Chains A and B, each alone.
Chain A
Amino acid sequence: MRVKHLTLVTTLTLMAMPAEAHIKQGEATGFLSGLAHPVSGLDHIIAMVAVGLWGAQLGAPAIWMLPVTFPMVMAFGGFLGLIGMPLPGVEIGIALSGVLLGAVVLMEVKAPLYLAAALVGLFGLYHGYAHGAELPPGENGLLYSLGFVLATGALHAAGIGIGTIHRWGWGRTALRLAGAGISLGGVSFLFEALR
């Protein structure tokens, strides 16, 4: 009787599990991981929100051109980070982006579109590079990228949304104060990067 039970138990234990080749497991983690990456560091958050705030201060066409171009430039930076292209001073560049973008919001600089796009694009490259170089291994590339791009876009949208208070006098003052705060945050990140 014991032998019978032992045979049955052994067979059941050794039974093959269903073959679930290529089942899409853990992909939600890849998406969430990509979504969390741009919002995982305050240095990234303040710079991306500052882009939206500056766009709102500059008005059309910068207000829509910056959020259209920034994700592509940032993705190009991510691409460079992914393929391992060396880019010196990444942390300093990221910290400087907070300092300078905060400063232009504080001073409400009315820069020409090409100059604004060049400045934002340059910093976008550094931010994207940092994200690309720090990618977690083993994630689903497509879903990670989707989450990453969506989070970046959402931060810009938040900046533009906040920037709509620019139409009121008190709003303009509040935006300039926010720019001062962003710039100060950038200075502290710069000290950390240079230490």
Chain B
Amino acid sequence: MRTVSRLAVFLALLPGAASAHLVSTGFGPVTDGAWHFALSPEQFLPMAAFALLAGLRGPVHARRVMFVLPVSWFVAVLVAIPLPVGWASIAMAAAFLLTGGLLAADIKLPQTLIAIFAVVLGAVSGGAYGAEDGSLLASLGAAITIFVLVALVSSAVLPLRAGWGVIAVRVLGSWTAATGLLLVGWMLHGRS
């Protein structure tokens, strides 16, 4: 009876796995962080849209964004900027609207402005991510994923200079901006 009682107490005290926001790949925290980022469309999609924008502007812009975006994102996670309640949702909607709008309009932004936008996008997304899950190695994995994402996506559109390819990319931008606009509606709907 005593053994059973001990077993019962032991089982009752077994902690449940806290799986908040984690992706467990079994390959360690760096890979977990990389997959977490890749499976978070709210983080992934605005960066992909920005990579498309940088790629359309040419190799110099793309190279700069490839380094600036992951570094600013990683620094924002490390610094762990204190965020007001609900800020992450607003930042997410703004990132969709801004990157999608710029891409849809195909605005010829100068290098400096593209770099500033990359810093802002990285800081905003990194701040939102850090508020959710800011472990160092997982964030490093996510930052590496951003680097690879920008490299792959921007290099895919670098050869495009005119024609249907550019139009298709701009359509993707309008879809991104439309999603951002709907997200703002969802936020206001939730508050009403």
Query: Main secondary structure on chain A at its contact with chain B?
Result: helix
**Across-interface contacts of B21 in A (CB, < 8 A):** 22-23
B147 at the interface (CB under 8 A from A): no
Contact flag A4-B1 (CB < 8 Å), given A142-B183, A145-B179, A145-B182: yes
* Partner-binding segment picked from A42-50, A70-78, A95-103, A178-186: A70-78
Whether the Cβ atoms of B182 and A149 lie closer than 8 Å is: yes
A61 to chain B, nearest CB (A): 9
Question: CA of A31 to CA of B188 in the docked complex: distance in angstroms?
Answer: 20
A11 at the interface (CB under 8 A from B): yes
A16, A19, A149: the one contacting B178 at CB < 8 Å is: A149
**Across-interface contacts of B9 in A (CB, < 8 A):** 11
Whether the Cβ atoms of A22 and B175 lie closer than 8 Å is: no
Whether the Cβ atoms of B177 and A18 lie closer than 8 Å is: no
Whether the Cβ atoms of B19 and A18 lie closer than 8 Å is: yes
B12 at the interface (CB under 8 A from A): yes
A8 at the interface (CB under 8 A from B): yes
CB closest chain-B residue, reference A83 = B188
B185 at the interface (CB under 8 A from A): yes
CB < 8 Å A-B pair total: 122
Q: Mark A29-60, 1 if CB is under 8 A from B, else 0.
A: 00000000000000000000000000000000
Whether the Cβ atoms of A68 and B170 lie closer than 8 Å is: yes
B157 to chain A, nearest CB (A): 16
Whether the Cβ atoms of B188 and A23 lie closer than 8 Å is: no
**Across-interface contacts of A78 in B (CB, < 8 A):** 181-182, 185
Whether the Cβ atoms of A11 and B8 lie closer than 8 Å is: yes
Contact flag A72-B174 (CB < 8 Å), given A15-B11, A18-B16, A18-B19: yes
Whether the Cβ atoms of B192 and A84 lie closer than 8 Å is: yes
Question: CA of A137 to CA of B8 in the docked complex: distance in angstroms?
Answer: 42
B18, B39, B174, B185: the one contacting A79 at CB < 8 Å is: B185
Whether the Cβ atoms of B175 and A153 lie closer than 8 Å is: yes
Whether the Cβ atoms of B18 and A72 lie closer than 8 Å is: no
Whether the Cβ atoms of B182 and A7 lie closer than 8 Å is: no
Whether the Cβ atoms of B186 and A8 lie closer than 8 Å is: no
A187 at the interface (CB under 8 A from B): no
Whether the Cβ atoms of A141 and B183 lie closer than 8 Å is: yes
B32 at the interface (CB under 8 A from A): no
B17 at the interface (CB under 8 A from A): yes
B19 to chain A, nearest CB (A): 5
Of listed B14, B19, B20, B186, residue having the most chain A CB within 10 A: B186
B123 to chain A, nearest CB (A): 20
Q: Which residues of B are at the interface with A, using a C-beta cutoff of 8 A?
A: 1, 4-5, 7-9, 11-12, 14, 16-21, 39, 41-42, 45, 92, 104, 167, 170-171, 173-175, 177-179, 181-190, 192
